[in-house]
Chain A
Amino acid sequence: MFKIGLNDNGEVAVSGRLDAAQAEKAQEFLDTVTDNCVLDLQGLEYISSAGLGVLLRTHKRLMGSQSGLELVNVNKHIGDIFRYSGFDKLFVVRAAQ
């Protein structure tokens, strides 16, 4: 079950599986973000290129206004996907403790 929403710290919490069937839902939410944004990915179990595309489009839009996405609490599997994709060079990525 994919979920995206604000957590108690004012960060965007993403959990579940961000696949091609859920990418539109994620994009709709992130399209409302207008400033620097921390994405808490602690509960994210899976991401495909559709989900990566959502992050990339949002980050590029925000960087246009000197803002951006920061990806935190990234588990090993998701971190591997970011590394394979070169996303670790495009985003601030912080691994889960």
Chain B
Amino acid sequence: MMQRKYQRSFNQIRKIVEDTAGFFSEHEIDDSLRMKVDLSLEELFVNMVTYNTETDSDILIEMKPIEQGIEVSLTDFDVERFDPTMAAEIDIDAPLSERTPGGLGLYLVLKMADSIHYEYRDRKSKITFTNRVTGE
């Protein structure tokens, strides 16, 4: 189990990637999951940093190995409720003129994760996702 807090800055992404690589190595988690985990972690972290601007609290990231994979949680403290699992669908068949970058990140998270769960309690916003080799 890893528990680590990160400042609310995009500059922390590099540190998160390094810590994730270390966790994968330490627990011998299949490296084929790295891209999906890195992507979901970044998108959810960036979403919290960008939209939960009413707090200065660090963001807590937890990782634990599970059978054939990994479970990752991000917790943001003293924020309003925002459930990423309810993010609007993106029409990936829309023509270029109608496409915008907005919303693509959470859409990709929902595509990449094998499971995803949101909970909100005492102004704590926590999102948990899993990726398994067998889920590919």
Contact = CB atoms under 8 A, between A and B. Distances in A.
Contacts of A60: 96-97, 99
Nearest to A90: B96
Contact-size category for B: 20 to 34
A85 B104 contact: yes
B8 to A, nearest CB: 12
Contact of B35 (A19, A46, A49): A46
Contacts of B79: none
Interface of B is mostly: helix
Interface residues of A, number: 22
Interface in B74-113: 90-94, 96-97, 99-101, 104-105, 107-108, 111-112
Interface string A60-97: 10010000000000000100010011100110000000
Given A63-B96, A84-B111, A86-B92, A49 B10 contact: no
Contacts of A63: 96
Given A46-B38, A48-B43, A90 B99 contact: yes
Nearest to B14: A21
Given A85-B92, A90-B96, A48 B105 contact: yes
B42 A48 contact: yes
B10 A20 contact: yes
A3 interface: no
Contact of B104 (A21, A52, A59): A52
21 contacts: A17-B17, A19-B13, A19-B42, A20-B10, A21-B10, A46-B35, A48-B39, A49-B104, A50-B46, A50-B105, A53-B104, A57-B101, A60-B97, A60-B99, A63-B96, A84-B92, A84-B108, A84-B111, A85-B108, A86-B90, A89-B93
Interface of B: 10-11, 13-14, 17, 35, 38-39, 42-43, 46, 90-94, 96-97, 99-101, 104-105, 107-108, 111-112
Interface of A: 17, 19-21, 46, 48-50, 52-53, 56-57, 59-60, 63, 77, 81, 84-86, 89-90
